[in-house]
Structure 1
Amino acid sequence: MRTALVIGTGLIGTSAALALSARGVAVHLRDRDPDSVSTAASRGAGSAEPPAGPVDLAVVAVPPAHIATTVAELQREGAARGYLDVGSVKGGPRRELVERGGDLSLYLGTHPMSGREKSGPLAASADLFEGRPWVLTPTAQTQTEVLNLALELVALCQAVPVVMDADAHDRAVALVSHTPQLLSSLVAARLESADETAVRLCGQGIRDVTRIAASDPRMWLDILSANPGPVADVLAAVADDLDETVRALRALESADQHKRAEGVEGIEGILRRGNAGRSRVPGKHGQAPTAYETVVVLISDQPGELARIFADAGRAGVNIEDVRIEHATGQQAGHVQIMVEPQAAARLSEALRERGWAIRQG
């Protein structure tokens, strides 16, 4: 791949353009918003000038509702040897492209499973896709050359290709991406009118659950509008579980011991099902989940403190598998939760204590 045209200079499009430009591909940028193109170009994502002729690959990074129209227009222009999109929904846009007379042999629907709560070219990063799954949904009509161009794009972005059926992809992202976004927003919405005293008690749990609720509503409206059926199916099943959970909690209020026992059984059941589901989430590098032990370190909110902890862990010969920071309310301090292999926890705790850190076992 020597040349590419990126249509849509938001987070995903600009990130792909930055990755391609960094690896020597001549990238041309196009967007309905000239300011967005200028911003992306100023960051080194490519040129705002149109290409002199057909490029090797056109990357369509527009909202799902506009994918088919954009691809069809590009194909009529003869803009590229191959065309792909990076939208989060695959089945609907492909069917619409067929209805619009598009050529499926030159088109491949893809979806990089990566993103941020922020949007736009200023939030973009050349390493956004590194190590992340990038779904490809080829059909029997897809030309080998187009598939190879898509695989080259994934390789240049240092992502991991995953081949799926388009409709299977849409059901999968409804479960693992689109529904979690709505549930996060629903929980966060409870905070909007909550008493200030309650909000001040927010800890890491509520921060984890509501992190993605900060996402752009307009962007998510576009995504959900393109995949409403599968998302509604998952939410309907969640609603059934919620109804059962509410009944179980009401039963726990009862003075009747039999009803209370039913309530305990119901709550324990949903918690255990949650344990079982969580255990299926892939662990480090996509491998089977690993049970880590947590060492909790009290840390002051001063420059360089986190780096010192990492350096001290390195001196102790301990590899940090994961890390979380929980800030203390009303204090310039917090707790760093360091996840390590179980056999390394005691060694790390001892080493950090020797270097003056306040430790408690997680």
Structure 2
Amino acid sequence: MRTALVVGTGLIGTSAALALVARGVTVYLADHDPQQARTAAALGAGTDEEPPGPVDLAIVAVPPAHVATALADAMGRRAARGYLDVASVKGGPRRELESLGLDLTEYIGTHPMAGLEKSGPLAGTADLFEGRPWVLTPTRDTTTDVLNLALELVALCRAVPVVMDADAHDRAVALVSHMPHLVSSMVAARLEHAEEAAVRLCGQGIRDVTRIAGSDPRMWIDILSANPGPVADLLSSVAADLDETVQALRALQSSDDAKRREGASGIEGVLRRGNAGQVRVPGKHGAAPTVYESVVVLIDDQPGQLARIFADAGLAGVNIEDVRIEHAAGQTAGLVQLSVVPSAAPVLVAALRERGWGIRQ
């Protein structure tokens, strides 16, 4: 691939353009808002000038509701040898393209499983897709040339290709992305009018659950409007679980021992099903989940503290598998939770204590 046209210079489009430019591809940028395209160009994502002729690949990075229109326009102009979109839903746009009578041999639907809570070209980054799954949904009509162009794009963005059926993809993202986003928003909504004293008690758990609720509502309306059925089905199941959980909690309030036991059993069932589902979440590099041990270190909120911890861990020959930080309320200090393989935990604890770090048991 030598040339590409990116239509839509938001987070995903700009990030893909930055990655391609970094690997020597000439990228042309287009957007319904010329200022946004100029911003992406100023960031080094390519040029907002018109391409002199057909490019190798046109990448349509617009909201799902506008994918078919943007693709139809690009195909009508013969803007490229191959065409793909990066929308978060695949079945609906494909059926809309079919209804327009377009030749889909030169098109493939794709979806990079990467994103941020921020949007727009200024949030773009060339490494957004590195190591992340990038779903490809070819059909029997997709040509080998177009599939290879899509695979080359994924490779240039250093993502991991995953081939799926379009409708299976939409059911999957409803489960792992769209439904969780709504649940996160509903939990976060409980905080809107909560007492300040309660909100000040927020810890890492509530931060984890509500992090994605900070995303742009307009963007999510576009996404959910294109995949409402599968998301509604999942939320219906969650609602049934909520009803049962509420009943179990009410039973725990009873003065009747039998009802309390029944309520405790119901709550335990919910928690255990949660355990069973959580362990299926892929671990590091997409491999099977690994059980790590946590070493919790007390640090001051000062420059260089994390770098010192990592350097000291490196000197001890310990690899940090994951890290989380919980800031102490009202203090310039925090707790750093270092995840390591169980056999390395005693070694790390001893090394950090020797170097003066406070370890929280």
TM-score range, shorter chain: over 0.9
Q: Name the amino acid aligned to 2:333.
A: A
Aligned-pair CA distance for 1:69: 1.0
Aligned-pair CA distance for 1:218: 0.3
Aligned-pair CA distance for 1:7: 0.2
Aligned residues: 361
Aligned-pair CA distance for 1:95: 0.2
Counterpart of 2:260 in structure 1 is 260
Following the alignment from structure 1 to structure 2, what is the Cα–Cα distance between the partners of residues 69 and 31? 13
Check if 1:281 corresponds to 2:281.
yes
Counterpart of 1:227 in structure 2 is 227
Specify the SS of the correspondent of 2:335: strand
Check if 1:325 corresponds to 2:325.
yes
Specify the SS of the correspondent of 1:111: strand
Check if 1:204 corresponds to 2:186.
no
Unmatched 5+ residue regions in structure 2?
none
TM score, norm. by length of structure 2: 1.00
Following the alignment from structure 2 to structure 1, what is the Cα–Cα distance between the partners of residues 4 and 93? 21
Deviations 1:157-186 (A, max 9, x none): 000000000000000000000011001100
1:65-84 residue pairs with structure 2 within 5 A?
65-84=65-84
Moved more, 99-108 or 213-222: 99-108
Following the alignment from structure 1 to structure 2, what is the Cα–Cα distance between the partners of residues 301 and 244? 43
TM score, norm. by length of structure 1: 0.99
Counterpart of 1:36 in structure 2 is 36
Aligned-pair CA distance for 1:103: 1.4
Following the alignment from structure 1 to structure 2, what is the Cα–Cα distance between the partners of residues 98 and 81? 19
Aligned-pair CA distance for 1:73: 1.2
Aligned-pair CA distance for 1:348: 0.4
Deviations 1:259-279 (A, max 9, x none): 100100000000000000000
Following the alignment from structure 2 to structure 1, what is the Cα–Cα distance between the partners of residues 318 and 25? 40
Q: Name the amino acid aligned to 1:77.
A: R
Specify the SS of the correspondent of 1:74: helix
Unmatched 5+ residue regions in structure 1?
none
Check if 1:48 corresponds to 2:53.
no
Specify the SS of the correspondent of 1:115: coil
Check if 1:188 corresponds to 2:188.
yes
User: Is contact 1:137–1:165 with CA below 8 Å preserved after alignment?
Assistant: yes
Following the alignment from structure 1 to structure 2, what is the Cα–Cα distance between the partners of residues 290 and 179? 26
Aligned-pair CA distance for 1:306: 0.5
User: Is contact 1:72–1:101 with CA below 8 Å preserved after alignment?
Assistant: no
Counterpart of 2:21 in structure 1 is 21
Q: Name the amino acid aligned to 2:266.
A: G
Specify the SS of the correspondent of 2:238: helix
Aligned-pair CA distance for 1:35: 1.4
Counterpart of 2:126 in structure 1 is 126
Counterpart of 1:343 in structure 2 is 343
Deviations 1:287-310 (A, max 9, x none): 000000000000100000000000
Following the alignment from structure 2 to structure 1, what is the Cα–Cα distance between the partners of residues 155 and 321? 25
Following the alignment from structure 2 to structure 1, what is the Cα–Cα distance between the partners of residues 42 and 28? 13
Following the alignment from structure 2 to structure 1, what is the Cα–Cα distance between the partners of residues 204 and 35? 38
Aligned-pair CA distance for 1:349: 0.6
Following the alignment from structure 1 to structure 2, what is the Cα–Cα distance between the partners of residues 296 and 77? 59
Deviations 1:83-137 (A, max 9, x none): 0000000000000001112111011000000000000111110000000000000
Counterpart of 1:246 in structure 2 is 246
Counterpart of 1:170 in structure 2 is 170
Counterpart of 1:155 in structure 2 is 155
Specify the SS of the correspondent of 1:254: coil
Aligned-pair CA distance for 1:72: 1.0
Following the alignment from structure 1 to structure 2, what is the Cα–Cα distance between the partners of residues 299 and 216? 33
User: Is contact 1:181–1:213 with CA below 8 Å preserved after alignment?
Assistant: yes
Deviations 1:305-356 (A, max 9, x none): 0000000000010000000000000000000000000011111011101101
Specify the SS of the correspondent of 1:28: strand
Specify the SS of the correspondent of 1:280: coil
Following the alignment from structure 1 to structure 2, what is the Cα–Cα distance between the partners of residues 111 and 349? 42
Following the alignment from structure 1 to structure 2, what is the Cα–Cα distance between the partners of residues 229 and 216? 21
Counterpart of 2:93 in structure 1 is 93
Following the alignment from structure 1 to structure 2, what is the Cα–Cα distance between the partners of residues 103 and 88? 22
Deviations 1:185-242 (A, max 9, x none): 0000000000000000000000000000000000000000000000001000000000
Specify the SS of the correspondent of 1:52: coil
Provide the alpha-carbon RMSD of the alignment.
0.5
Following the alignment from structure 1 to structure 2, what is the Cα–Cα distance between the partners of residues 193 and 104? 50
